[in-house]
Amino acid sequence: MNKGYHLKGFIIVLIYFFVAGFLVMLLWNWLLPSIIGVRVITFWEACGLILLTNFLFNKTFLRKLISRKKCEDGRWSLLCDDNKEKLNEMWEKRCEELEKAKKKQ
């Protein structure tokens, strides 16, 4: 893999994290104290909220952006047929597990 590709991705993640943390802090401190009377939060608490919501809901704009990028790069065509089959089997297994978990709820 190209080291520059990984460095660019890391920089994009950091920029997203800091900009999103700043925006969450601004919106929280602007809206919530006056609406429901909660305390003002710091930048690092806002970043922690972002991480917490990402862990809880597991759907972030960044993850969708990264997954789209990989598909558009044409990397799927670089995989050999055996690896494609293994990857498909793995995803099918994960989907089945998710379906079972949803049915239990």
pLDDT band at 25 (very low <50, low <70, confident <90, very high): very high
Q: What is the mean pLDDT of residues 27-34?
A: 92
Task: Report the C-alpha gap between 98 and 40 in whole angstroms.
Answer: 38
User: What are the tens digits of pLDDT across the range 57-73?
Assistant: 765 555 555 555 555 55
Give the CB-side neighbour count of residue 32, counting CA atoms within 13 A: 11
Q: Please, are residues 19 and 43 in contact by the beta-carbon 8 Å criterion?
A: no
